[in-house]
Structure 1
Amino acid sequence: MLRNRYIILVEDDEIMGASLVQRLELEGAQVLWLKQMVRGLGAIRTPKQPIDAVICDIGLPDGSGEELFAALARTGTPPPFLFITGQGGIGQAVRLIKSGAADYVTKPFDMAVFLERLSLLVRAPDKRSPEDDFPPLLGVSPAARKIETLIARAAADSNPALIRGGPGTGKDLVARRIHDLSDRSAAPFVSVNLAREADANEALFAPGHGFANVGEGTLFINAISRMTAQVQSDLLGRLDHSFDGRLIAACGNDLETLIDEGRFSSEVFYRLARTEIPIPPLAKRPNDAVWLMQQLFHKLVPRHGPDVEGISALCEQAIRNHNWPGGGREVRARLLRGLAMATGPLLQPSDLFPERLAAPDDLMSLSQARDAAESAQIIAALDRTGGQIGEAAKLLRIARTTLWEKMQKLGLSGS
């Protein structure tokens, strides 16, 4: 029941933590064991892969499981939580259940009972959807997981599909994933990007191009807003006659405006949009921006920055705060430039965003400057203490609760 499941364990007790990890791995689960709340917050917000369940002790050295769950719930939907509590914490556990947690067990507990309760939180293998066998496509946020659900639904039928999103949002990746999950996966996947074609009619309808090559496979047409009225009419005619394949189209977010202006056919739009998959920009998915940067970092660093060891916590915060108008393409371009400019073992904000240093007239307000300075000091203290909020608070000479409140205000995960 737990085979191939990814489970995060947040438990500071060495004996219990080691025992749980050993048993869960024997059951076939992949386990990430963390011992502080602040580490758990970062790992759950930006996981390496979709999380099937979180096992969390309510009492932690730098906070509580309740604080962890509440922090996650403020920015999204947490994965299923199974809390571990002593008899004295049952009231707190019940309060957590009412707040959306999945379940709790009290110490001491029978391992068989614990495993049964945990198994109820994760989907059985025969109930997993096909996309579960694929790695995350666009990220790990709730919005990215919703896109994965829409992809699976689109793959289950043969209706035309319309993918909508701004530049660099991965529309081509979504189209390819739909094809790979569908019954047409063994047939050709043919991609035509009209933004790169001088003659859309030839690219789509000429012998040896577009429709002629797809057979019973999938034809993906990107940038459909560039189609002329004649090409739109020819497309409708082709869909109505002798097309055995499946059509997936993609566009930006301005199609309704083009329809209102008479530059795009509403009939074509409604024909294509029987299944619609909107992709929010990275500005609305800050944790996905960090996830994408991490994915690209591991691919690009061997060739372009072999001396760079990682991305600093302050740099991750800058990534979350940037609005990424160029989407994934901008992420890749900034990372390549950052790897070339980096002078230390960790990427810093100035490596990815050098223009901020080159704009002395664009001054921050005193409030922004104070927040930036506090963020830098807090992150430095957390790095020095290995994420221990209590020890970091001593270094900063403030109360632990004050430090935690400042971290929440500044959006710092401490990881």
Structure 2
Amino acid sequence: MLRNRYIVLVEDDEIMGGSLLQRLELEGAQVLWLKQMVRALGAIRTPKRPIDAVICDIGLPDGSGEELFSTLARTAIPPPFLFITGQGGIGQAVRLIKSGAADYVTKPFDMAVFLERLSLLVETHEKPLQDDDFPPVLGVSVAARRIEGLIVKAAKTSQPALIRGGPGTGKDLVARRIHDLSDRSAAPFVSVNLAREADAETALFSPACGFNGIGEGTLFINAVSRMTAQTQSRVLERLDRSFDGRLISACGNDLEALIGQGAFNSELFYRLSRIEIPIPPLNTRPEDAVWLLQRLFRKLAPRHAPGLVGIGALCEEAVRTHDWPGGGRDLRARLLRGLAMATGPLLQPSDLFPERLAGPDDMMSLAQAREAAEKAQIIAALDRTDGQIGEAAKLLRIARTTLWEKMQKLGLSGS
């Protein structure tokens, strides 16, 4: 996947840089290794050939990866950046992704995971997502990174995998990623969603369909909890016979209850869940909700609302605190509606959540209004200073300690 790719590596550590250089060249990539920000700046601005990706350490001897990316972004769209950071730099890496960087990995990292994320970054950049598609990864949170690790492990085996999560959590994206990263990627990937099929038996067992249509590929069965007892028995029988393909299934969080009620075969459950990948709901991953909003906005706004220049700080805060019962699909639907209804230069909470508009009987108190206005101003200052509390305090013309106390009271964070 990296053969003949042109990669710029910005890393001052001799051991880390040498290890990455050797492995990338073994993968067939052409690598330019640079150890200073100033040299990287010139090489990326005027490359010898189009750059497929930049691998960049956050800490550099004459600056930082953040400075390098920000400087490039002022005059052009930088190539895809994959940042390398220690545990203490995760907040900085997340800010960079919000600003347009592609991804980050945390030291120490597994080389297989690193290569997988780099390959995904290159492929996504080369083949832009369609207007109605979601990003191929689930987010920037610790939970999203954990899921990425499970995906890579699942791709290395042919054992059945069960993906569990509520509506709109990206179960189909995870199944597809497992297939694409596996040795079966050249074979068919067939998806059967039992929530949309009038006849599950036909979809799964007819000639050239379901089990009979994948060869050595992957069959993804979504909403397995909707199987009748007869369908469950037939799936078990098929798994007991010769089956050259790989089975991935998905469900909500209700299978144990169905097993307890006798509505789902416990033996089938154990067969399907040799590998289990749980996806937490979006409302438990607020940073992923904001990240997804930003990614979808950059993709959808130019087509649906070219007059909008960005997302307001209060809008991001509203997304962060919303329950998102429909997951990412819910977020995308609200964004499309908001883009159609927005009237100002920035997307506002009322564009995404018109039901929150105050009526005559539910006005905020003056204390609530002051707190909301103060919170919005602090968020704007933190956004402008990339989360630097000292710089934000100067903009707001208050002491750093005063700002820190207000942020603690309002549940905000910075650096």
Alignment TM-score > 0.5, same fold: yes
1:339-358 alignment, distance < 5 Å: 339-358=339-358
Q: How far apart are the structure 2 equivalents of 1:409 and 1:193?
A: 46
Kindly tell me the number of residue pairs found equivalent between the two proteins: 336
Q: Could you tell me which residue of structure 2 aligns to residue 102 of structure 1?
A: none
The residue correspondences of 1:292-371 to structure 2 (distance < 5 A) are: 292-358=292-358, 361=361, 369-371=369-371
CA–CA separation in structure 2 for the residues paired with 1:384 and 1:215: 54
Cα-to-partner distance string for 1:222-247 (whole Å, 9 max, x where unaligned)? 00000000000000001111311000
Return the offset for 1:208.
2.8
Structure 1 alignment gaps of length 5 or more: 8-18, 36-47, 56-68, 80-119
Q: For residues 322 and 49 of structure 1, what CA distance do their matches in structure 2 show?
A: 30
Determine the structure 2 residue equivalent to 1:22.
38
Aligned residue number for residue 85 of structure 2: 53
Change (3 A) 1:381 1:161: closer
Paired residues of 2:313 and 2:380 also in contact (CA < 8 A): no
Give the secondary-structure state (helix, strand or coil) at the position aligned to 2:268.
Answer: helix
* Cα displacement (A) at 1:372: 2.0
Quick one: which amino acid aligns to residue 212 of structure 1? N
Matched, 1:133 2:122: no
Aligned residue identity for 1:337: R
Cα distance between partner residues in 2 of 1:127 and 1:325: 31
**2:156 is matched with which residue?**
156
Q: Report the residue type matching 1:53 in the other structure.
A: T
Equivalent residue letter for 1:134:
L
Q: Which residue does 2:198 correspond to in 1?
A: 198
Gaps of 5+ in 2: 1-6, 12-34, 45-53, 59-63, 68-79, 97-105, 122-135
Distance 1:396 1:71, change over 3 A: farther
Aligned match of 2:253 = 253
One-letter amino acid of the structure 1 residue matched with residue 84 of structure 2: D
Give the letter aligned to residue 210 of structure 1: G
Judge conservation of contact 1:6–1:51 (CA < 8 Å) in 2: no
1:191 is paired with a residue whose SS is: strand
2:55–2:84 contact (8 Å) kept in structure 1: no
| Cα distance change, pair 395–186 in 1 and its aligned pair in 2 (3 A) | closer
TM-score (norm 2): 0.71
- 1:345 Cα shift? 1.6
1:150-299 aligned at under 5 Å gives the runs 150-299=150-299
Q: Distance in 1 between matches of 2:37 and 2:384?
A: 27
1:127 Cα deviation after fit: 7.8
The CA deviation string for residues 240-260 of structure 1, in whole angstroms up to 9 with x for no partner, is 113110000000011111111
Alpha-carbon deviation of 1:310? 1.2
The one-letter amino acid paired with 1:158 is: S
Question: What residue number does 2:406 align with?
Answer: 406
CA distance in 2, matches of 1:300, 1:267: 45
Q: 1-side partners of 2:369 and 2:302: how far apart?
A: 35
Contact 1:6 1:53 in 2 (8 A): no
Q: What whole-Å deviation, never above 9, does each CA across 1:147-194 have from its counterpart, x for those lacking one?
A: 010001100000000000000000000000000000000000000000
Q: Measure, in 1, the Cα distance between the counterparts of 2:287 and 2:386.
A: 22
Q: Are the structure 2 counterparts of residues 49 and 126 from structure 1 closer, same or farther at C-alpha, using a change threshold of 3 Å?
A: same
Deviation at 1:307, TM superposition (A): 0.9
Amino acid at match of 1:52: I
- Within 2, Cα distance between the matches of 1:362 and 1:280? 33
2: distance between equivalents of 1:210 and 1:390?
59
Q: Distance in 1 between matches of 2:367 and 2:253?
A: 35
Confirm or deny that 1:146 pairs with 2:150.
Answer: no
1:412 Cα deviation from its structure 2 partner: 3.6
Q: 1:293 to 1:249 in 2, by over 3 A?
A: same
Q: Check conservation: 1:324, 1:330, Cα contact below 8 A.
A: yes
Structure 1 residues 401 and 221 mapped into 2: Cα distance closer, same or farther (>3 Å)? same
CA gap 1:359/1:6 in 2 versus in 1, 3 angstroms: farther
Partners of 1:23 and 1:279 in 2: CA distance: 42
Q: Deviations over 1:195-214 (max 9, x none)?
A: 00011111101123211111
CA spacing shift, 1:302–1:245, aligned 2, 3 Å: same
CA distance in 2, matches of 1:292, 1:71: 18
The 5-angstrom pairing of residues 43-122 of structure 1 reads 51-53=83-85, 69=88, 72=91, 121=107
Task: Determine the structure 1 residue equivalent to 2:16.
Answer: none
Shift of 1:406: 2.0
Provide the rounded CA distance (Å) in 2 between the counterparts of 1:388 and 1:346.
Answer: 23
The CA distance in 2 between the partners of 1:154 and 1:384, in whole Å, is 41
What's the CA shift string for 1:94-144, capped at 9, x where partnerless? Answer: xxxxxxxxxxxxxxxxxxxxxxxxxx9565967845344214610011100
**Amino-acid identity (%):** 67
Q: Taking CA–CA contacts closer than 8 Å with sequence separation of 6 or more, which of the two structures ends up with the larger relative contact order?
A: 1
Pair 381,215 (structure 1): closer, same or farther in 2 beyond 3 Å:
closer
* C-alpha separation in 1, matches of 2:149 and 2:233: 32
- 1:379–1:414 CA contact under 8 A, matched in 2: no
1:409/1:198 CA distance change after superposition, 3 Å:
same
